[in-house]
Amino acid sequence: MPDRNNALALDREILSEYVDGQLDDNARVNVATHLAEHPADAEVVDEYRRQTTAINAAFDPILQEPVPDDLIEIVRKGRSGSLESDGRDGNRAKWMLMGVAASVVLFLAGIAGGWYYRGYQETARLNAMVIQQFVRSASNAYVLYDRDTDRGGDFRSERMKDFVQWMYDSFGDNFTPPKLEAIGFSFAGGRLLPTAVGPAAQMSYRDEENRRVTLYFVKGEKTEYASDMSAFKPQRFGKFDTFFLQDDKRSIYFWQRSPLKYALVGEMEQSELSKVTEDIVGQLFGKDDK
């Protein structure tokens, strides 16, 4: 037995589509014929049309308003390639913080002191550069900040407890330090390293053969993956995407999960580092449903 309410709802959807011109020619003719014979439905169609007219009448005055100068100014600055903002405009700032790809902000922050982006820049290419810059920093930090040649850093502690406290102060609940004893690595120290995008944390782990891996991470808005991540080999762990890169002797895994970007670096084969990555990703994101 057909459900009357559902049938009525379906009919009304079709009347809606008719009003909006979303039906193909055949269907439209059928409905028009139906309306000619069913005045109650024809009245519904008229009411839908009256609604549309009233809605347009209510909102049209906005279309006629003079456009505020500051909005035109944005487009003009965009055209000349010099869109600039210091985020001081009160309410405007709220939207702008969300509106700007923060990865662009981060990348250029060290250059000009303020921040700006050029309208003609290819966002996609810029994003790829941001990621590669980050991975390169992680790789360099692996080489430079070897435990045996201590060049210092803003923070250094081989005691997990101190490091965890500092981590919590910096990153809050967003990060829990991975423990790698199960795969033979013990925590060997943590560092806070200054970068153009703010402090990066580097956690070092060593195994019994004195092989070292470092987990390097920084806080910032997620960088959208450009179509050109061709320098990387993607690898999936469960439902989680990572990207692999070989830099000289170092194998590197990169991934991100808001609000952190991560790079795991080690001087070993990809297959070896892959096991460490799998363990870390499982600990960091094991509870994710996605």
Stretch that binds other proteins, among 91-99, 131-139, 177-185, 229-237 (CB under 8 A): 91-99
Distance of CA 236 to the CA centre of its chain: 18
Do 167 and 175 form a contact (C-beta atoms < 8 A)?
Answer: yes
Please select the residue that binds other proteins; options are 7, 29, 32, 75, rule is CB under 8 A: 75
Do 281 and 240 form a contact (C-beta atoms < 8 A)?
Answer: yes
Nearer of residues 118 and 257 to other proteins, judged by Cβ = 118
Please select the residue that binds other proteins; options are 42, 101, 129, 143, rule is CB under 8 A: 101
Q: What is the closest distance, in whole angstroms, from the C-beta atom of residue 151 to other proteins in the complex?
A: 37
Nearer of residues 36 and 54 to other proteins, judged by Cβ = 54
- 16 scored as a contact of other proteins (CB under 8 A): yes
Stretch that binds other proteins, among 29-37, 100-108, 158-166, 170-178 (CB under 8 A): 100-108
Please select the residue that binds other proteins; options are 30, 33, 51, 246, rule is CB under 8 A: 51
How many angstroms separate the CA atoms of 181 and 279, rounded?
A: 10
Q: Count other C-beta atoms under 10 Å from residue 7's C-beta.
A: 10
Do 106 and 114 form a contact (C-beta atoms < 8 A)?
Answer: no
Please select the residue that binds other proteins; options are 34, 78, 244, 259, rule is CB under 8 A: 78
- 12 scored as a contact of other proteins (CB under 8 A): yes
Stretch that binds other proteins, among 116-124, 141-149, 208-216, 278-286 (CB under 8 A): 116-124
Please select the residue that binds other proteins; options are 36, 72, 111, 196, rule is CB under 8 A: 72
Q: What is the closest distance, in whole angstroms, from the C-beta atom of residue 54 to other proteins in the complex?
A: 4
Give per-residue burial for 61-89: e unless 16+ CB within 10 Å, then b. eeeeeeeeeeeeeeeeeeeeeebebeeee
Nearer of residues 63 and 182 to other proteins, judged by Cβ = 63
Site residues for other proteins, 123-182, by CB under 8 A, read 123-124
Which residues 6+ apart lie within 8 Å of 231 measured at CB?
Answer: 128, 132, 245
Do 265 and 142 form a contact (C-beta atoms < 8 A)?
Answer: yes
Which residues 6+ apart lie within 8 Å of 265 measured at CB?
Answer: 138, 139, 141, 142, 213, 214, 216, 250, 251, 252
- 32 scored as a contact of other proteins (CB under 8 A): no
How many angstroms separate the CA atoms of 201 and 178, rounded?
A: 13
Structure tokens that stand for 56 in this block: 């347009």
Q: β-strands 212-219, 260-266: how paired?
A: antiparallel
Nearer of residues 9 and 32 to other proteins, judged by Cβ = 9
Structure tokens that stand for 236 in this block: 């999936």
Please select the residue that binds other proteins; options are 36, 39, 122, 150, rule is CB under 8 A: 122
> Can you give the binding site for other proteins, defined by CB under 8 A?
9, 12-13, 16-17, 20, 22, 44, 47-48, 51-52, 54-59, 61-65, 67-68, 70-72, 74-76, 78-79, 83, 85, 91-92, 94-96, 98-101, 104, 117, 119-124
